[in-house]
Structure formats: C-alpha cells, structure tokens
Structure 1
C-alpha cells in the first residue's frame, strides 16, 4: 500500500523522525485558542492555524525546502475570554512554561529552524518573551508570524480600504472569511449578528474589542470581552465576510509562510 506523504510530525513514526531530524528541516509550530469567535465561527481557531501550517509545509517542501508541522497548541494565553462557557485558556505563566518546554525539547534534539505560526493575540507577548530569551542564550532566532494580524494587513489590498475597515475586527474579518473557506462545514452564517453601533462600557462609547473612546482617543479596559463585544463581535461587520476573501487571504498567508521558510533555510545554510 502506498502511504500518502504527511507533513504532520504527529503522523510520523519514531524511525521517520530520526531520519528526518538528521536533515535539519524547518519546523512550524501552530498556536491558536479555544474561545468565543462569534456565533458563526467555530471556537477553535487553532483548527485554522493548523490548516494554514499544513499548506505552508506542503508548498515549501514541494519547492525543495523540507518543512514539517509540529502538533498544534490549541489553548491560548488568557486575556478577554474568561466569560465563555466551555472556553479553555492558559494563564500567561503557564503559557510561558509550555512554550519554554516545547522549544527546549526541539532545540536540544537539534531542530534549530523553528517558525511560530500564531493564531491568538493573547499569545503574542509571551511568544516574544520566550523566543527573545532563547535568542539571548543560544543565538537561535525563532520568528513569529501572527497569522490573523498579517491577514488583516492584507485586507485593504484585497477589498479596498473602506470595506477592509468596515469588515475587520474580532468575529469578522479576517478570521470569519478564512473559516468560511477552510472549514465551510463548521461555520454557521445563519447565526450572524452585527455589532451594536451604540454599545457603551464604563460609561463610554465602545471603540473596538476591549477598547472605548475618550474624546476620540482609544482607551483599553481590563474587562472581559463580552463587555465591549456583541456576542464575540467587535467593531467589524461579519456580513461583509465571504469564502472568496478567505481563499485569497489563505493563499497570501501561505505565500508569506513559504517565503519565511525559504528565508530561514537560506539564513541557516
């Protein structure tokens, strides 16, 4: 029986992994969260990060840059989502320990080319802290591509500045469009709600997820996300999201990821 090639480390045997390790490939570490993504999108955005990672690894390997995907970390660092029934998050202290242990396991076994593909804002600060400490101790550089921030930066090019601004936000673009493309069987467009335009928190008008406006200036508040969001929806309008936008965003993220793999390979050759 011919076995289908996999880029997922979890699907490889120990013998496979010993052989692969000797070639010092690039490893992708996808991270995500399990939280409120709005009423239309599955709570596990880590599913999307894992799918994007797989596409990057397959395309990079096909271009001659051998790449594999480490098991996705499904639980993100706690920030705004403690209110969500069923949601699971790690304290920032725990996230630091988990990331430190993951990197130590890989680095001590000779894997020096590691790229983080992050799918949760609450992970960002700790990824930076842990990878910076590793760089200071070992001179190994572990870049972090925050997938949804990168996709948000691409939105104006794909939709135009006005539509990008109106559609971008938690529970809307880019995540909802990407989910419509990558996981069409899991999204529920019929459950769509739009953000409340006059929502207030702490006596001030809500500006965005976790933020209010004070005389035209955004101020962040330490409240749970449901205080400023409408069923997980920030300022973006999910009605402006669609699978075609998700396809274009995914393709651009994969292109970016492959470029990063290539750059890392050439820097470490």
Structure 2
C-alpha cells in the first residue's frame, strides 16, 4: 500500500507495526469561530492541518511521523455571541486533550505534538501538555504556527493591530484556497488599538501586562486588522516558512530525550 502519514487511514494492525520508539504523533488543532465577513469559520483548523501536512510532506517517507484527524473546535469564547462561533469551554477542551493524550500513550506512542493555529489557546495547550506528561509519561510539545516566526523581510500594512482576520491571516488562507476568501466584503477593524494603549508604559492588548479582551471590546465586524491588501503570494511565503520550521522542529523532537536523572 502507498505510504500515508494519516493515522486514520491505517488499520489497527498497521499501527501496531509502527516502531514506537522514535515515532511522533501530531494532533492539529484549530477553532470554529467568526473571522469577519471575508474568511471561513474553520480558518484556524484549515491553517493548522495545512501546516502539519506540509511539514510532514517535507520529511522522508520513513520519518515515522503521523497525523491525527484535525480537531476543528477550540476555546473561542472571546468571540462568543458572534454568529457561527462554536466554542468549547476551557475545561471541556482540557478534558478532550487529556483523553487524546491518554489514548496516544495507550497505543504505545511516546511523543505527541500539538500543532495549533488559534491565537486564543496557546497557554491552555501548554498547561494541558504538562498534565498529559504527568499523567502518562508522554513527551508532549505544544506548537503554535504563529509562534514559528515569519520570513525575513516580511512587513504588513496592519502590523500594529493585526491579530485576527487581518492581512497576514487572510493571505495564508488565500494561499491555501483562494476561493474561500471574499475580499470584496473585507474591511478593516480594530484600528483604534493603535491609540487605545497610548500613554501606558506596561499595559498592552497581548504583552507583558495584557488585558482579558473580548472581540466586542475592540471590533465591530469581528476583524482585528486590515485584510484588504492580502494576497496568496504573501500567504505562500508565510506558509512555506511555518511548514519548513515545523519540519525542522519535528526532526529535533524525534532526536530529543529527557535524561535519566534517577
């Protein structure tokens, strides 16, 4: 049979034959939430699974890296009340991911990687990763695509306030499937963030002293950024960078082992 990294396509017999000693399992995770009038609700899930798939495609067939089905729901209560948003509570998502981790460990795997593309849950993933480690012994690595950096020289028109549905995120979706994006209805919002924290030394939206913001605090149309000059070419550069960085990280994860201290 032709090789596939998709664990769901394998039989239980084929999974049992995997060399678990150096195998890595990826759980892509996104969200199902409003992204303004121009982007689809599953933007984050689409980005997470694309980055994961491209990263694994950049590895040799015998890399022994496997991908679980994408979790298309996340913790999105910052967008609660916006039509189409489907959110899990923090406790539900934690329980779900703990169950996934326990199942991965029960199958004999030793390393689990979360590949996340939703900005509202990196901290939760870091916490639950440690809980899974403590409960199962799995080595767990929470990765958020947006923390993998950008190509050198990238610049964005809305760099000062773009965190949701802006130029960069819209460009990435266009690079995946341009037909999913309706730039005709795209509009900037959240521009007031540029002046909202003027005069404060420490307080920012998402910095050393952040605020527990909701979308309704900063945006009318659900966008925090300016998507109007997004392009698939810009998005392709970001996707290539993220996928390449994740490929490199996966090889490092395969090599990594905690030392025996006792």
Change beyond 3 A, Cα 1:215–1:239: same
Residue 212 (structure 2) pairs with residue 218 (structure 1) = no
Instruction: Verify: 1:126 aligned to 2:124, yes or no.
Output: yes
* TM-score, scaled to structure 1: 0.83
1: distance between equivalents of 2:213 and 2:38? 23
Which consecutive unaligned segments of at least 5 residues does structure 2 have?
none
**Aligned pairs, how many?**
251
How far apart are the structure 1 equivalents of 2:181 and 2:106? 40
Structure 1 pair 26/20, CA: closer, same or farther in 2 (3 Å)? same
Distance in 1 between residues matched to 2:153 and 2:220, nearest whole Å: 26
Change (3 A) 1:138 1:103: closer
Q: What displacement does 1:113 show?
A: 1.6
The RMSD of aligned alpha carbons is: 2.6
1:228 aligned onto 2:218: yes
Which residue in 1 is equivalent to 2:165?
171
Secondary structure, aligned partner of 1:93: helix
Unaligned runs of 5+ in 1: 200-205
Residue pair 1:37, 1:232 contacting (<8 A) in 2 also: yes
CA displacement, residues 123-179 of structure 1 (integer Å, 9 cap, x when unaligned): 2222111111233455543111111233xx316x2424x647258331114321110
Query: Which residue does the alignment assign to 1:69?
Result: 67
Distance 1:207 1:106 in 2: 44
1:243 alignment counterpart: 232
8 Å contact from structure 1 (residues 8, 54) kept in 2: no
1:159 pairs with 2:154: yes
Distance 1:96 1:139 in 2: 17
More strand by share: 1
Matched residue, 1:202: none
1:34 match: secondary structure: coil
Question: Is 2:59 the partner of 1:100?
Answer: no
Cα 1:259/1:40, change in 2 over 3 Å: same
1:256 aligns with 2:245: yes
Using the alignment, how far apart are the partners of 1:99 and 1:114 within structure 2? Answer: 11
- 1:196/1:99 CA distance change after superposition, 3 Å: closer
Distance 1:21 1:85 in 2: 45
* Change over 3 Å in CA distance of 1:268–1:58 after alignment to 2: farther
The CA deviation at 1:222 is 4.6
Matches of 1:240 and 1:48 in 2, distance apart? Answer: 19
User: For residues 4 and 182 of structure 1, do their structure 2 counterparts lie closer, same or farther at Cα, with a shift above 3 Å needed?
Assistant: farther
Give CA-to-partner distance per residue, 1:8-39, whole Å, 9 cap, x none.
11222222222225565211110000001122
